[in-house]
C-alpha cells in the first residue's frame, strides 16, 4: 500500500540503480545477463530452495539489514543476546519437544552435544518462563532436512519451552562447516567474485517469550576454520561459542552451555 516511507524507499532504490547503471555504463547485453540471473533465482525458488534469499545473502544484504535493524544491541556481556540473519532454511511449525529430548534422528555418527542454559531478562537477570527456543541446524553431510530426502521430516529441528526456572536443555549435534547451495545463481555470483561458498558451523535459534522482543540468531563454533570468513557475513563476536568435551554422559561427547538474554518491549 502506498505510503511516504514506501515512496521514499523505492524512489531511492531507483535512483541508486540508475546511478549504478550510468557509472558503470551498463550495456544491454550485461543487463540481460543480470536479468537472466534474477529470473533463474525466481524459477529455482520454492519452499525447499529459497534461492532469492540466498542471492541477497551472498551480497551481504540480509546481514546489513540485520545490523541496521538491531544496531542498539551491543556486544557488552550484559546486553541482550545479539541477533543474526534468519537465512533461507527456517521452517514454521517445527515439532514441540520436551526438555532434554534430542533433535537428532536417523543419522549415523556426528558429535552429539548437550546444549543447555537459561533464558533471562537482560536487565533484571530474572529467569524467563514460557520462552520458546526454536532451533535448527544441518546434518553432518551439510544438508538441512528439507534439502535431504534421506532425513526424516523436521529432523534436527525442535521447539522447547522453558518453565519457571527459565532453563532449557536438549541434545543436538556439534555442527560442521558446509557450503551454501552453489549450483544456482547464488553460486554463479560467488564464482564471478572469486569467493568460496562456505559458512562456519552454526546453530540457528529464534527465541521468543511473552512480553519480550523475539530474537533471531545463530551461534558459531570458534574452532571452525571459516569463523572469520563466512560466505554470508553473519558472524558476530558475541555469538562465537566453545564446545566442551563431556565425560560420563553416554548420550553426548560434547557440552555447550549458552544463555540467552531477552529485552522487554
Site for ligand DHB in 37-56 (CB under 6 A): 54
Nearer residue to Fe ion within complex by CB, 87 or 187: 87
Angle between helices 185-192 and 51-58 (to 10 degrees): 20
Binding stretches for Fe ion (CB under 5 A)? 87
Q: Is 122 in the site for ligand DHB (CB under 6 A)?
A: no
User: What 8-state DSSP symbol labels residue 82?
Assistant: P
Q: What is the distance between the alpha carbons of residues 119 and 257, in angstroms, rounded to a whole number? A: 12
CA distances from 98 to 95, 133, 155, 161, 248 (A): 10, 12, 15, 8, 22
Q: Is 57 in the site for ligand DHB (CB under 6 A)?
A: yes
Nearer residue to ligand DHB within complex by CB, 55 or 209: 55
User: Whole-number minimum distance, CB 230 to Fe ion, in Å?
Assistant: 10
Q: Degrees (nearest 5) of the Cα angle 179, 232, 244?
A: 70
Q: Which of Fe ion, ligand DHB, none binds 232 (CB below 5-8 Å, type-dependent)? A: ligand DHB
Give the residue, chosen from 44, 81, 88, 217, that forms a contact with ligand DHB under the rule CB under 6 A. Answer: 88
74: left (phi over 0), alpha (psi -120 to 50) or beta: beta
User: Whole-number minimum distance, CB 224 to Fe ion, in Å?
Assistant: 13
Closest CA to 218 of 230, 202, 232: 202
Rg of the chain (C-alpha set): 20
Nearer residue to ligand DHB within complex by CB, 58 or 209: 58
Strands 215-221 and 240-241 turn out to be parallel
User: What 8-state DSSP symbol labels residue 130?
Assistant: T
Q: Is 156 in the site for ligand DHB (CB under 6 A)?
A: no
Q: Is 87 in the site for ligand DHB (CB under 6 A)?
A: yes
Q: Is 89 in the site for ligand DHB (CB under 6 A)?
A: yes
Nearer residue to ligand DHB within complex by CB, 54 or 209: 54
Give the residue, chosen from 201, 232, 235, 256, that forms a contact with ligand DHB under the rule CB under 6 A. Answer: 232
Q: Is 85 in the site for ligand DHB (CB under 6 A)?
A: yes
50 forms bridges with which residues in the sheet? Answer: none
CA distances from 236 to 44, 51, 161 (A): 30, 24, 26
User: Whole-number minimum distance, CB 177 to ligand DHB, in Å?
Assistant: 10
Nearer residue to ligand DHB within complex by CB, 87 or 187: 87
Q: Is 180 in the site for ligand DHB (CB under 6 A)?
A: yes
Q: Is 235 in the site for ligand DHB (CB under 6 A)?
A: no
Cell of 240: 562465537
Nearer residue to Fe ion within complex by CB, 112 or 204: 204
- Number of Cβ within 10 Å of residue 15's Cβ equals 10
Judged by the rule CB under 6 A, the positions of this chain that interact with ligand DHB are: 54, 57, 62, 85, 87-89, 180, 199, 232
Amino acid at each position: 500500500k502506498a505510503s511516504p516511507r514506501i515512496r521514499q524507499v523505492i524512489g531511492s532504490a531507483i535512483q541508486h540503480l540508475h546511478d549504478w547503471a550510468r557509472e558503470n555504463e551498463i550495456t544491454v547485453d550485461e543487463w540481460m545477463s543480470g536479468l537472466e540471473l534474477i529470473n533463474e533465482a525466481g524459477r529455482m525458488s520454492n519452499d525447499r530452495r529459497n534461492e532469492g534469499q540466498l542471492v541477497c545473502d551472498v551480497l551481504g544484504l540480509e546481514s546489513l539489514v540485520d545490523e541496521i535493524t538491531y544496531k542498539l544491541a551491543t556486544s557488552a556481556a550484559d546486553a541482550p543476546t545479539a541477533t543474526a540473519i534468519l537465512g533461507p532454511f527456517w521452517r514454521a511449525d517445527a515439532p514441540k519437544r520436551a526438555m532434554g529430548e534430542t533433535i537428532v534422528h536417523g543419522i549415523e555418527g556426528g558429535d552429539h552435544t548437550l546444549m543447555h542454559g537459561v533464558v533471562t531478562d537482560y536487565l533484571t537477570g530474572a529467569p524467563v518462563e514460557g520462552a520458546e527456543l526454536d532451533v535448527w541446524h544441518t546434518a553432518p553431510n551439510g544438508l538441512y532436512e528439507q534439502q535431504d530426502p534421506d532425513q526424516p521430516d523436521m529432523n534436527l529441528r525442535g521447539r522447547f519451552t522453558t518453565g519457571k526456572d527459565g532453563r532449557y536443555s536438549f541434545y543436538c549435534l556439534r555442527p560442521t562447516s558446509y557450503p551454501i547451495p552453489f549450483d544456482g545463481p547464488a553460486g554463479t555470483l560467488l564464482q564471478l567474485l572469486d569467493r568460496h561458498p562456505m559458512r562456519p558451523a552454526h546453530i540457528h535459534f529464534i527465541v521468543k517469550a511473552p512480553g519480550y522482543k523475539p530474537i533471531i540468531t545463530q551461534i558459531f563454533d570458534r574452532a571452525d576454520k571459516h569463523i572469520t570468513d563466512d560466505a554470508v557475513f553473519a558472524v558476530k563476536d558475541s555469538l562465537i561459542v566453545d564446545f566442551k568435551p563431556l565425560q560420563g554422559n553416554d548420550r553426548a561427547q560434547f557440552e555447550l552451555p549458552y544463555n540467552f538474554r531477552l529485552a522487554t518491549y
